[in-house]
Structure 1
């Protein structure tokens, strides 16, 4: 990576608490550089109680053109964004925003786009298919929206927090009537099975779905990046399923994030 760093460098920050585990600054900086942009993505450790003050102060930094929000600041990002996308409003969070020509922050939530683009890169298109999604937390809500926004025939949601599940289903049903309902851990009858929970990160975690009922023609995706091949994906591959690990989402999202930071993606 041959980055420039001088007085003309445009800065983009990625904020989180903690931040040491974040691996994307180098990848995003390289992506910017490849596109001919003299830009650098800088990781900054900001606590929840300081995030509003910090991001507000960036309005006066004229060479800071964008912000990436990671855990736990995505929900706060929505309130700090002047013009959030429909996706971001639905998900209740913003994970990226750029400074528009008028100086206002334009934001989006790219989690769902990254998840579905990652699946598409593995040969699966969601349009016209039946999908089961496990988990509709921060990223899961964005993924649920994107599944239906890209033309899925039906989405079933399995979420242990039934209040959150029902609230998401109600909101989705307003925009996509007849296309969403309550799911379970049984993957029978679905073309696409997606995990958007942290279940599978720790040894001894249960499987998020009944993997013994998986069939070879089904596509199984996971949002977890470590381990790269989760127990769910191991079980799915043993059944002959095509799969997408969390790194597929991560890699697809890198391009989307840079598009968003540069204001080159429609919101």
Structure 2
């Protein structure tokens, strides 16, 4: 890989805070190479306070063609786009931005679509199922949207930010598809998955060994499908607990494989 790396190589950035945990730079660069493109993906560690100033300078580099966005910048980076996909505009969040031939920046959000594809690939049927989602941030919002579009009959959302959670619930209910509510059941301070067919953690809780389980694992049973967006560790305590009970699962790595394909195809359309 990178045999042709030179001043002519096109650059795509992945921006986040923190950034050391992301696996995207290698995988995306590898995908560019498999498509015959002389392009790389480079990580950028940028804090929220510096994001606007960083972007003002970064976008002036003529050899930068795209931007991949990770935590916590997925909402903020919508402001950097000249145009948005219908999906990104609805959610108010992006995870991929590309520059077109006219120099305009176009954004889209693939976390939800990629996650649902990964779930279905791992044996999850979503139509008419009851789902619990913990986390209404950038990725969580996108996953919630895709779960509703995939036909869940009910989606309960938990997020400690009441305003963010309710805004998402209201927007999803405006689609007049499955019923979307906020979660009211908790045990020992953790969201209670009792009564749900599908349970997904879309928060960073579980990245550290000292983290509590983001969902009450004692209430999980083998007929549930359990998912987590975290990529490091590869198997979070939530996923390990679910597998121990015989659940089918989807991990952050499973999600990334699907999201990467969508992002790369989008970036290469420019």
Both structures adopt the same fold (TM-score exceeding 0.5): yes
C-alpha distance 213-46 of structure 1, shift in aligned 2 (>3 A): closer
1:152 aligns with 2:158: no
- Residue of structure 2 equivalent to 1:77: 77
Deviation at 1:7, TM superposition (A): 4.4
Matched, 1:191 2:187: no
Instruction: Report what 1:222 is aligned to.
Output: 228
Q: Structure 1 pair 88/3, CA: closer, same or farther in 2 (3 Å)?
A: farther
Unmatched tracts of structure 2, length 5 or more: 186-190
Match of 1:56 in 2: 56
CA displacement, residues 160-217 of structure 1 (integer Å, 9 cap, x when unaligned):
3333322221111112355211223332332211111222223343333332332322
Give the 3-state SS of the residue equivalent to 1:97 in structure 2.
Answer: strand
Q: Is this contact kept in 2: 1:129–1:152, CA < 8 A?
A: yes
Corresponding residue for residue 90 of structure 1: 90
- Preserved CA contact (<8 Å) 2:148 2:155: yes
Unaligned runs of 5+ in 1: none
5 Å-filtered alignment, 1:3-152, equals 3-152=3-152
Cα separation, 2, equivalents of 1:209 and 1:44: 31
CA spacing shift, 1:194–1:165, aligned 2, 3 Å: same
Structure 1 residues 170, 53: closer, same or farther in 2, change over 3 A? same
Name the SS for the 2:67 alignment partner.
Answer: strand
Partner residue in 1 for 2:174: 174
Matches within 5 A, 1:201-212: 201-212=207-218
1:261 counterpart (247, 264, 267): 267
TM-score (norm 1): 0.88
Range with greater deviation from structure 2 (245-254 or 45-54): 45-54
Matched, 1:161 2:167: no
Q: Distance in 1 between matches of 2:160 and 2:6?
A: 50
Structure-2 change in CA distance of 1:229 and 1:60 (3 Å): closer
| Corresponding position: 1:247 with 2:253 | yes
Q: Deviations over 1:40-89 (max 9, x none)?
A: 11223334344334333454433321111223322221000111123323
Q: Which moved more, 1:221-230 or 1:49-58?
A: 49-58
1:234 aligns with 2:240: yes
Q: 1:16 to 1:116 in 2, by over 3 A?
A: same
Aligned length: 264
Kept in 1: contact 2:153–2:178 (CA 8 A)? no
Q: Within 2, Cα distance between the matches of 1:170 and 1:111?
A: 20
Deviations 1:225-267 (A, max 9, x none): 2222222112211211111122111222221221121138xxx
TM-score normalised according to structure 2 size:
0.87
Distance 1:19 1:165, change over 3 A: closer
Cα separation, partners in 2 of 1:35 and 1:17, compared to 1, 3 Å: same
Partners of 2:45 and 2:120 in 1: CA distance: 33
